[in-house]
Amino acid sequence: MPDPLSAPVTVPAVRAAKRRDGHLPLVMVTAYDAPGARIADAAGVDLILVGDSVANNVLGYEDTLQVTVEDMAHHVAAVARAKPRPLIVADLPWMSYHLDVVDTVRNGATLVRAGAQAVKLEGGSNRVPMVEALLAAEIPVMGHLGLTPQSVHTMGGYKVQGKSDDAAHSLVVDAEALAAAGCFAVVVEGVPEGVGAAITGAVGVPTIGIGAGPACDGQVLVLHDLLGINPTTPRFVRRYAELGAEAVAAVAAYAADVRSGRFPADAEVYH
């Protein structure tokens, strides 16, 4: 059995980590701050995604369309200050790579200066000029296909994508275009497992799945979902803990101790 990627994780190491070439599945998790980055690092994941899902998971927004490059840079910098071993990938938020390539590169550079080692953007063949411009500026790019949350209004909600033969074929073509343009990996979200497998088989760079089945070259989950901090989670999430409920119980115990006079005790007082 091959070893997980060694420290520190680099873009070329991720690019080479295709399962069919004998590599272990890649492990990516989101983190939005220094404590989250330290947890991901200590747990031995390969990549940290500072996702624009910070919008829903931390900032209280309904969707990811509300976060700006400045918001993302703030959270990327917090993650980077933890100096984690995993590769730090930052999401380019909505409207930061949609206008023109100059704007795209400037926004990518802002995230790199904040501490990102690569950026991720959503979309397929339509994003090839942006991918090429970022790479020309030495900014590594991860693609993101399938259920792309920044397209929530176009998709009519968060719906599984690639269900028809035509839609599945388009996703494979898009993945090939992103890989040919130079993306070092592609996130595949919210597609039937056969589509996840077809995309993974079609491209020479790793696919990292989220709700895309077991054939992908890696998996990504949102930290707040897998830790059970979010009260409800989609079907594809496995909740490895129930920290939300544990946190409520801990704060309730503290409140009860204060009100009953049990806190602070003698050992918790400066004499």
Binding footprint of ligand KIV on the chain (CB under 6 A)? 30, 49, 51-53, 91, 187, 189, 210, 220, 222
**Residue with smallest beta-carbon separation from ligand KIV:** 51
Nearer to ligand KIV, 179 or 218 (CB): 218
Min dist. Cβ of residue 80 to ligand KIV (A): 17
Nearer to ligand KIV, 22 or 174 (CB): 174
Nearer to ligand KIV, 90 or 168 (CB): 90
3-state per-residue secondary structure call for the chain: CCCCCCCCCCHHHHHCCCHHHCCCCEEEEECCCHHHHHHHHHHCCCEEEECCCHHHHCCCCCCHHHCCHHHHHHHHHHHHHCCCCCEEEEECCCCCCCCCHHHHHHHHHHHHHHCCCEEECCECHHHHHHHHHHHHCCCCEEEEEECCHHHHHHHCCCCCCCCCHHHHHHHHHHHHHHHHHCCCEEEEECCCHHHHHHHHHHCCCCEEEECCCCCCCEEEECHHHHCCCCCCCCCCCCCCCCHHHHHHHHHHHHHHHHHHCCCCCHHHCCC
Nearer to ligand KIV, 21 or 28 (CB): 28
For the question of residue 246 being annotated catalytic, the response is no
Min dist. Cβ of residue 7 to ligand KIV (A): 23
From 62, 132, 176, 189, active-site residue: 189
Min dist. Cβ of residue 257 to ligand KIV (A): 37
Catalytic (active-site) positions: 189
